[in-house]
Every structure is written in structure tokens, then in C-alpha cells.
Structure 1
């Protein structure tokens, strides 16, 4: 069947002037200082110099150990007749020094508690199983390097949008944040999961432990940001509506820094679905007004429909420019069987592969631990924890700053895929992994010195194409000036969107690609053999991150090709985002 007129809209976004917001001051917890321990030495200031200090020392029985500074006014005195450690100062010498008119100032010295800032790995018994951050795999996520700098997520608030969170779990309770939590299924303040014989509502608790499980409490393992505050939103264990999703995504936007979500439309290889009107507005308000205008960070799991040849660009949540979409790789650096490839995935963290592969260690229901968490659901919270570490290093990062940093802090490393390509600015990028494995150490190092991006600009180009019967292969070409000479002139790309309307007899047979003027070809959607819909695409927005930082001016080519005849469309089953 010939396609109906095809509308092509390129929305090109650029980072260009200072956009800073206000960050709420962090609460400071004051600890009681230990009692001072006095030693047998004094610092004194005598302006008349060395001879006067010698006189003073002989008079009161001190030994003059010499100048403290080269200016000759501050001196170090020791008294052998005074105990080397005492809980009380020596009142006799204090009185004598106070009465001497030549002594301008003095202070009996006390012991100071100082520690080498070497880092010891967490003592939790299951930390040895956390292979993805304890150097058992090379490269790992480079978490230890960040912890050794004293960064552990302090002052950062993360909320898990899911089926609840076991807030009294022994590895979560000390970090639990009630202000970052709510139950939108029953509309109360308690996000405790509903317990069932099959423990089906364990997902949120597992994701929460990956981010902020308490370290060094001799229980389970440690979260990536083990001093971050963790909240939970119960919203997947009941009737899910656009209102429920929008309310969950806009809970306490001035308090919560990061929302982590590991859910979406069904990963069945045939669904094309995304957020409703209210949820899209929640995303927009989050990035424009959240965190004092810096923008909420929405971290999203890319999807588990790989066995169904699903494509995460048919998921309007991972496909949104406002979410930071995270894919998975196995310990061996291979593409997991459940992984979905798409152009909107920005970065990758670890998860499991085949049954014999190690999985992710985290908290579980009934105050337990598990080493069986898997899927892209396990990858997204790891990224959320790493982003929390970067926010602790630089709390003034905007939502777009963070996406720029993630692009630069993701490395192809040992990740294996046939589709690695070098884009127009020299970065390797893949539909399976985005820009590669996220490196926490690199992310934090760059975050410290990152200069704010300039305000986002958008340039939209409408292309109406009346096709001729050239399928199974067709190209729509357009010279683009990127709004040159106008206020929204684009010099450097971030997200590229294609809003597409077309009719086709079997939607899943089409592979749609976009090629930039710099020669980067990005697959907007690969064929999906189980998608037999004859509806085509109705104003569906595809998104690609593969052109990041490229120059948009020049010839863009949208390619459409029927590749369905390459596949035998049998039936199979894929997991939900567990």
C-alpha cells in the first residue's frame, strides 16, 4: 500500500546563555564535639622577640622550641613538668602567662583528631557481590573513585516512582524521606507496598536499594549514593491514569532532585504509546520550574522488549527529550536478550544477561536482600545514583547540563555491538548503548567544573511530502538552515525530533532513519515483526540523541524502507520491566 502524505517536522534543540536557579540550603546536623585533651605545650605571642621569650621560658620553667612563623612573634613552648595528656588545662601556667605584660596571647595546645582520607570499601556482607562497582569487572561503574572523594549523595533527594517502597527496611529506613513519598493508588502519605503471596510489589523497594541502601551497617550491600535521601511513590499498584502519572511526576518538585522510573507501555513489540496531556505537562513543568528552575531530572529505563524486537522509540517516555533514558549491558559487555535498541537511549549501566550471569544486589521485601534484580529496571536506578553523586559535587547543574555531562561521561569501553558508529563530532554511539557505559568518576570530575548551558532553542521545519510509488524504499530530503538569522538560530544540536504522520498497511515492516548533514545515520525505528498495525504513525514523535553537538545546517535525509520480508514473524514472550 502506498503511504499517505508524509509530514516531517525536525525540532532541533541547542544549548546557548546562563541559566542558573536557586538551590535550597542543605540542613546541617551538628554533632557534639568530644572533650578536649590538653598537652604539655603552649603557643605564645611575644612581640619583643627571641630574647624576651627566652626570659619568659627560664622564668616559668618552659623549654623554648622556637618560632612558629618566620615573623618572630609566635613561639612554641613546652613544659616537661606537665602531663602530656590531660582533660583539664594547667591553671597555674595559664595564670602566670596571663599576668605577664609581655605576653600578648597564649593557648595551651589540645589534641586534634585528624584522619587520612584513604577510603575503605563498605563493610556490608554483600558488597563483595556488587561486581559492577567493586572492581570485579573492568571497567566497572567507577563508583569507588567517587566515594574516595567523600561524595556519597549527601543532600540529594531521589524518589522511586513504582509500586511502593518498604520504608522500614533495615537498609533503607535511615535514608527514607517522607517528603519524597506518597501513595497515589490509595491517596495517602504511606508508600508501603501491598504484600501478596507472590511478592509482585517488590519492584520499587529493589530499585530504591540500588540508589540509597545504607552502607557499613553490616547488612546487605551498599547503594550507589548511600547517603542520599530516598523516597517512594506508589502509583503502579492500582488504576493508572494520566492524572496518577502526572501527579507522581510532579510530587514535591522543589524538594526532589531526581525521579527514577522503570516502567512504561507494554514491551510487546506492537504498542506505540506514551504520556498523556497531563503527564507531558508534568514533564514540561518539571524541567522548567523544578529545583528552583534548574529542572527536575527524570531517569528512565529504556525497556525490556528485546525478545519481541521492540523499539524504545515507540515508548513516549524514554523517547522524550525530558527523560534521561538508560539501557543495559551484561558483565561481559554484551547486549542482553531483553534490551531494546533505539536512538533515544543516552547511556548504559550494568544488569544481567543469560541465567548464569550475575545480577544486581539490592534490598527486597520483608526486610530481605536479593542478588536477583535484573532488566533495564536495574540499570536506571544505578544511573540515578551516579547522577546523585554528580549533583552533590555540583548542585547547580540543570537538567540539560546533566544530559551533556552524561553524553561526555559515557564510554564505549568493552561494550560489544555491530552498530557502533562515529558521529559528526567524533563520538562513538550505538542504538543499543547510547554513548556507552556511564563512568561515575568521569561524570563527577566534569560536573565540578561544568559551565551552565545557555537557554534551549528550538527550530521546527515542516516538510510535507506527497509520495510517489517508490516503496519499499523512499527518501525525503530537505535543506535546513536551522533558523539562521532568527532568534532561535541553532548552531549545535542536542535532541533531534521527527514528528511523523503516515499510513501503511503493516507498520512494523518499516525501518525509518534520519541522516544529518554531517553524515550521521540514526535509525528512528527498526522493524518490529509483531507490529501488524495498519494505522501507521499519527503525529508520532521519534527522537534521536546521536547528533549531539553536530552542526544542523545542510541536507537532512529521512529514509523509509520496507524490511519486513527479512523476518519470520513467529511468536515469543518478553518480560515486563522487572
Structure 2
């Protein structure tokens, strides 16, 4: 049977007219100048021997493979300054002339911020309101524990600033094979201690997932018998190499990678994974877990106060990550929350200063009930996914996205943008499909039949520069590749890649409307937005007269839409 023709509507709402011509750029961009470091990523055609030859010829030190297949190598040059505002053109030309060098890139510093909120630490299961059945709509974890599922056999690694592996509530579940320090390149992920305890973030996230149960200390992790590892990669020089190596650590051993960081949530930054990190995501979902695919759980971002939009974050926005948002105990949108089409599900976190927060492990063998932000939401989801993997270890990365959609419920979550999509599911840009229910997730996982192999269909919508009016619709009728081997039976992901020029990205809005009328905002207007009431109550004001985000940076938001699973 031939599928019915499909119409995709792309709406661009602009404050001023513009032309669709080249890469998204503008005059007053807030982009920082890249800072080049003394290392290069190089892909060579003849493996380790060729990498060694290049290193000896040009004075590099070969730091080894980036991936285990012997194609990509990490080279460092001791004669190059550690940080520079300009690339080293001499080495650029030398590597370019080498016929066996297929690709190379001098590495640059990448700013990544931990998605926690700066709240003082303070001194466990009675206080874990989000899963102890004291509230009507909690995460329904007790139901799963009562079935005997506790994360046994599942390995979760927290990519962050390290974890305190000897913590009394973590050491029994600590997994050295799921751990590494890519800041200092050694196997020990122990955090660097400072007077301000700035490197507590990873330890806190790890405790949410796998803090030991029934040991008379702190609280309990969602998957308290899962193995927990930590990757120290945020407390030093962050490059594309570091991110790719972190996301590629032990892909046949680690099941779930939990990441609560990303580009700065300042309402101005448009950034995403580099060449190697994109490759790491692809390898993870195609080769990880014996071909079932690694599960990358990502915090959606804390830039709500700055009108940030997580669709302009290429990590949460990737179809390969499972992006998690936050809700307060009262079911409200937190003041720091970012709304975007890429958010798939929601768990709990903090709200205003008087709201309860998340209980977890802390540095110096301590506990805290002050963990906050979307940083606290993503590890809760990672723990619930570990429970589902124990129930069914054969779930693929795409299976898990289907299950998370079906196991998320609007519950008592309050938002003005709840809509019913074409297949009858409620969806919101604030919460995705709603609050993740661990009991429902596990029940569905037990009986889930594997999805069919992924197929892709690419459609070119705009072919030439076109003047754009204040409000413009771009439509295209298509038959989902009917008549070809890759015809689409059900729709999981839609990715829109746009090239355009405009002087004020903050005035640009882009939306995608499905054939059944579900409208997803891919890029939202990022200034002149009313401040959320919770932020006002919390005393966090905003100068409405202050200028909005300036003109554009190097590239457009890579707006990926995951709001139509399956249809």
C-alpha cells in the first residue's frame, strides 16, 4: 500500500524581512574567538604506524587512538603554545600536504557548563519526595522495586567533573571499567577538591542514579544496585577530542551515559558537538551495547531566565540523545527551564527557593538535599532507564525513545502549551510528553517488540535564495519515499537544516507543522518574552529595557524535532 502524501509546513516568523541565502550569521554576534590548544585530531589511512611516522616527522607526541579502530589519533606538539587566539598555520600546511592524512583539526577550547544551580550544600529516604509515594504523582519507582528490579547488571556512567568513588553511598556500586579521567588522562575519576567544592556536580548526579540502599546513610538511588562509573572531563581543557573520548568510553560495557552539561545557557550561544563528538554519537548508537546502541541521557538546560532555547543546543537537540526537562513538586515550570521541541520527557527538580530539592550524595563523604536544576532531572531518568534495561536488556536506543514517550504522562504538570498531537498524545515544549513513570516504563519494556530498522528520507525544500516576508509558509508535499526501498512507515524524528542570513537571531521564529496539525517550535523568539512568574516570586528580576541577544553566530540552530513518535 502506498502511504498517503504528507505535507510538511515550515513557518518562519520574522520581525523584519530577510533573504534566504547563506549560513546563519550576523553583525553583532556574541561569539567568543576560538582559543586553539597544542593538540590535533588526525585521521590517517594506515593506522598507528602512519600516525607514528607523522609524529616523528613533525615533532608531535602521539597520545594514541581516539577510537579503538586505529583511524583517528590525538597528537600534541610541545613546541606550540598551550593556548592561542590563532591556529598554527605551519602545521596546518604540513598536514594538508600529507597524502595519507584524510582529515585533521587543531583542537580548540570548548566552554561547557554544568547544568546545576548554585545552591549551598546542606545535610534521607523520607525526604526523597519524588519517589517515596508521599505525593500523588511521583516517579512511581517503588512499584518497580516491589517487582525486584533495582538496576542489577546495568552500568551507568556519569560524564562530568568526576565522582567521589570512595563515598560511603557509592563505593559498593563503583565500576572502574566505566570510569576514566580525560582531563589528566589516568584511570582515576576522583574529583579535584577546592575550597568552594566546585567539583561536586558529578558526585551528586551519580548518587541520584545508584546510591546504595539500606546502608543507613544518605538516601537511595533510583537504580540502587546498578554499577556506577564516572568520567572526569569538565574540570580542565575541554576539546572535541575530550568530549568524543568521554562519550566513547567502553561502549560494550557501559549501557547508559548520563550528561548534565552543555554550551552556556545564556540565551545567546548557539553551539553543539564537533566533528569527533558527532562521530562518537553515531558510533555509540550503531555499535554500542553490541549494536543495540548506547543510551545518551541529557539535561535540557537551565537558561530559562535568559530566554534560552534548548533547540539551539546541538547536544540536547540530537536525535541520538534522550533530552530530559524539569518540573517542580507542584507541577510547575521551573524558572530556569528551557522550552524546546527536542525535550522528550520530564522528571522532578527544584522550583523557587522554598520548594524541596533533590537528595543525593555530596563531596567529602557527605549528603545533600540541595541538588537542583535540569542537572538533577537527567540522572533520575537515567536511573529509571536502568530499571527498564534490567527488565529487558535487548532494548535498542530507538526502542527506549518509544518507551519513554509512552511512559510519560501529563499528570499534574501545568503549562499553557499542552496540545494533543495527531496520534492522541499530549505534548508540551516545556515537558515533552510529560512526567516519566518508572512503573509504566518497566511494564512496557517487558513486552516491547523491537522496532524495525531505521530508514531515512531527505527532502530538499528550498533550492534558491528567496525573499522572506514577515510571516512566511514553506510547504512541500511528499509521499515519504514511497516506491523506494527506504519508504517511511512511521515517523520517529524530523530534522530541519536551514541556511539563512539575518542580523538579529532573537527576532527569528521557526516552526514545523505536521500533516495532522501538530505545530512544533524549532526556534523561538529569544527576547521580549515575559519573565516566568516563578522567577518573579523567587526575586530573580530581569531588565526589560536591556538589549536582547545580539546578531547571529557562525551557524544556525540545528533544530531537531522529536515530538512526533510515531506519527
TM over 0.5: yes
Q: Distance in 1 between matches of 2:338 and 2:247?
A: 24
Q: Distance in 1 between matches of 2:132 and 2:186?
A: 39
Question: Is 1:243 matched with 2:235?
Answer: no
| Alignment correspondent of 1:295 | 293
Q: Distance in 1 between matches of 2:158 and 2:553?
A: 34
State whether residues 302 and 345 of structure 1, in contact with CA within 8 Å, keep that contact through their aligned partners in structure 2.
Answer: yes
| Alignment correspondent of 1:534 | 551
| Alignment correspondent of 1:381 | 379
State whether residues 19 and 468 of structure 2, in contact with CA within 8 Å, keep that contact through their aligned partners in structure 1.
Answer: no
Q: CA deviation at 1:531?
A: 5.8
Match of 2:254 among 222, 235, 256: 256
Higher relative contact order (CA 8 A, sep 6+): 2
Paired residues for 1:331-342 under 5 Å: 331-342=329-340
Paired residues for 1:311-322 under 5 Å: 311-322=309-320
Q: CA deviation at 1:405?
A: 0.1
State whether residues 302 and 374 of structure 2, in contact with CA within 8 Å, keep that contact through their aligned partners in structure 1.
Answer: yes
| Alignment correspondent of 1:413 | 411
| Alignment correspondent of 1:396 | 394
Paired residues for 1:425-444 under 5 Å: 425-444=423-442
Q: CA deviation at 1:469?
A: 4.9
Match of 1:543 among 537, 540, 560: 560
Q: Distance in 2 between matches of 1:351 and 1:176?
A: 25
| Alignment correspondent of 2:218 | 220
State whether residues 160 and 260 of structure 1, in contact with CA within 8 Å, keep that contact through their aligned partners in structure 2.
Answer: yes
Local SS of the residue matching 1:299:
strand
State whether residues 501 and 536 of structure 1, in contact with CA within 8 Å, keep that contact through their aligned partners in structure 2.
Answer: no
Q: Distance in 1 between matches of 2:503 and 2:549?
A: 8
| Alignment correspondent of 1:169 | 167
Q: Distance in 2 between matches of 1:340 and 1:150?
A: 36
Question: Is 1:141 matched with 2:145?
Answer: no
Change (3 A) 1:6 1:404: farther
Change (3 A) 1:439 1:383: same
Q: Distance in 1 between matches of 2:478 and 2:388?
A: 36
1:40-87, Cα deviation, whole Å (9 max, x unpaired): xxxxxxxxxxxxxxxxxxxxxxxxxxxxxxxxxxxxxxxxxxxxxxxx
1:219-244, Cα deviation, whole Å (9 max, x unpaired): 01000000000000000000000000
Q: Distance in 2 between matches of 1:379 and 1:470?
A: 40
| Alignment correspondent of 2:266 | 268
Q: CA deviation at 1:5?
A: 2.4
Q: Which moved more, 1:191-200 or 1:475-484?
A: 475-484
Local SS of the residue matching 2:457:
strand
State whether residues 302 and 340 of structure 1, in contact with CA within 8 Å, keep that contact through their aligned partners in structure 2.
Answer: yes
1:354-378, Cα deviation, whole Å (9 max, x unpaired): 0000000000000000000000000
Q: Distance in 2 between matches of 1:152 and 1:170?
A: 19
Match of 1:462 among 460, 463, 482: 460
Local SS of the residue matching 1:382:
helix
Q: CA deviation at 1:184?
A: 0.2
Q: Distance in 2 between matches of 1:379 and 1:539?
A: 27
Paired residues for 1:117-132 under 5 Å: 126-132=124-130
What value does the CA root-mean-square deviation take over the aligned residues?
1.5
Q: Distance in 1 between matches of 2:505 and 2:463?
A: 18
Q: CA deviation at 1:138?
A: 1.4
State whether residues 270 and 555 of structure 2, in contact with CA within 8 Å, keep that contact through their aligned partners in structure 1.
Answer: no
State whether residues 502 and 536 of structure 1, in contact with CA within 8 Å, keep that contact through their aligned partners in structure 2.
Answer: no
Question: Is 1:330 matched with 2:347?
Answer: no
State whether residues 156 and 392 of structure 1, in contact with CA within 8 Å, keep that contact through their aligned partners in structure 2.
Answer: yes
Q: TM-score by structure 2 length?
A: 0.75
| Alignment correspondent of 1:19 | none
| Alignment correspondent of 2:494 | 496
Q: TM-score by structure 1 length?
A: 0.74
Q: CA deviation at 1:481?
A: 1.5
Q: Distance in 2 between matches of 1:142 and 1:535?
A: 43
Which structure has the larger Rg over C-alpha atoms? Answer: 1
| Alignment correspondent of 1:5 | 20
Q: Distance in 2 between matches of 1:466 and 1:522?
A: 25
| Alignment correspondent of 2:343 | 345
Q: CA deviation at 1:536?
A: 6.9
Which runs of 5 or more structure 1 residues have no equivalent in the other structure?
A: 9-124, 551-578
Q: Distance in 1 between matches of 2:271 and 2:237?
A: 17
Q: Distance in 2 between matches of 1:127 and 1:540?
A: 41
List structure 1 segments (4+ residues) > 4 angstroms apart after TM superposition. Answer: 465-470
State whether residues 309 and 340 of structure 1, in contact with CA within 8 Å, keep that contact through their aligned partners in structure 2.
Answer: yes
Q: Which moved more, 1:516-525 or 1:534-543?
A: 534-543
Q: CA deviation at 1:470?
A: 5.0
| Alignment correspondent of 1:559 | none
Local SS of the residue matching 2:459:
strand
Q: Distance in 2 between matches of 1:332 and 1:540?
A: 32
State whether residues 7 and 463 of structure 1, in contact with CA within 8 Å, keep that contact through their aligned partners in structure 2.
Answer: no
State whether residues 503 and 534 of structure 1, in contact with CA within 8 Å, keep that contact through their aligned partners in structure 2.
Answer: no
Q: CA deviation at 1:540?
A: 4.1
Q: Distance in 1 between matches of 2:510 and 2:554?
A: 11
Match of 1:186 among 180, 184, 187: 184
| Alignment correspondent of 1:95 | none
